[in-house]
Structure 1
Amino acid sequence: MTAINRRRALSGTAAVAVGVPLLAACGGDSDTTATDPATSTSPEEGSASPSEDGAASGGGEALASAADVPVGGCFVVAASKIVVTQPTEGDFKAFTAVCTHQGCVVESSSDGDIPCPCHGSTFSLEDGSPLSGPASSPLAAVEIAVDGDAISLA
């Protein structure tokens, strides 16, 4: 068996050496919030991130078609980390898709809210406000434009 020294234990290679997987867990009831993608300094390569005014760099990025977004539900554009909602017929809104509790990406739904699969938070289709916790902060609004059936960043 390989000896475990401090450096290996801190780097995580000790877990590999002894065959024990490392697991991440929920932080509990802390007030930690996710990094806002609008202010992130290192967006994922190839993905658009909203700027301070809500538009992606380059602007006008196509997000979805109206048919993708159910009435009374939401559609997540994973590559852009944006969730598009349609609270009522023809009324489209968009928010960051990153949960304000611990940074998980919310899910698409037709159940009348924006659900986070990680810890059970739900958000309003109308304004991104939290409906149930542990999240206590709203999802940030993102400016979109609807032209016929096309939904894009404004």
Structure 2
Amino acid sequence: MTHRSTRRTVILATGASALLAGCSTYDSGSGSSDASPKASSGQQLTTTGAVPVGGGTVFKDQKVVVTQPAKGDFKAFSAVCTHQGCLVDKVANGTIDCPCHGSRFSVEDGAVKAGPATRPLPAEKITVEGNSIRLA
């Protein structure tokens, strides 16, 4: 006995497939709800001369902020604010600043300098070779 596909079975099968696909999630490992992937390992972010001493540069597409707290000392942190997942947008006066709710983080270690965030920005691994700064 063969089963014939009816309009109802085709619609049900298609709907179930779409529903299951819509339920899949992307896990970046950061705990963030933002589903877009981070920069790939080994990708050059910038040059050492482009990151100001005492400041930093935000790379929105890669969701990384690179700072230079002291001359020749480069650090990198996630650019995703630990408060509600907004991207930080600038580095000024020794802090990495989030535009959404005013959280500020230290350029030295990502520690919270002003809330409402309560957790520091997670560190990102970078390598500095010559004047090139790359994700590790």
Report the TM-score range of the alignment, normalised by the length of the smaller protein: 0.7 to 0.9
Give the alignment partner of residue 38 of structure 2, picking from 30, 48, 64. Answer: 48
Distance in 2 (alpha carbons) for counterparts of 1:148 and 1:77: 20
| Structure 2 counterpart of 1:107, from 56, 78, 89 | 89
Q: Report the identity percentage.
A: 51
How high is the TM-score relative to the length of structure 1? 0.64
Q: How many residues align?
A: 109
Q: Work out the CA distance in 1 between the residues paired with 2:86 and 2:34.
A: 17
Backbone CA RMSD of aligned residues? 2.0
Question: What per-residue deviation string (whole Å, max 9, x for no partner) do you get for residues 5-46 of structure 1?
Answer: xxxxxxxxxxxxxxxxxxxxxxxxxxxxxxx843469742xx
Q: Kindly state the Cα deviation for residue 103 of structure 1 after the two structures are TM-superposed.
A: 0.8
Judged with a 3 Å threshold, the aligned counterparts in structure 2 of structure 1 residues 123 and 42 are, in CA distance, closer, same or farther, namely closer
Amino acid at match of 1:95: F
Matching residue's letter, 1:76 = V
> In the alignment, what sits opposite 1:21?
none
Q: Contact 1:73/1:125 (CA < 8 Å) preserved in 2?
A: yes
| Bigger helix fraction | 2
The verdict on how the C-alpha distance between 1:41 and 1:101 changes in structure 2, with shifts beyond 3 A counting, is closer
The match for 2:76 among 70, 90, 94 is 94
Partner Cα distance (1:91, 1:122) in 2: 20
Structure 1: segments with no counterpart, 5+ residues: 1-35, 50-55
* Residue 29 of structure 2, aligned match among 9, 34, 38: 38
2:49 equivalent in structure 1: 67
Q: 1:38 to 1:151 in 2, by over 3 A?
A: farther
Find out whether 1:143 has 2:125 as its counterpart: yes
- 1:82 partner amino acid: V
Give yes or no for contact 1:64–1:77 (8 Å, CA) kept in 2: no
Question: Over alpha carbons, which structure has the higher Rg?
Answer: 2
Q: Which runs of 5+ in 2 are unaligned?
A: 1-26
Q: Which has the higher strand share?
A: 2
The answer for the alignment partner of 1:14 in structure 2 is none
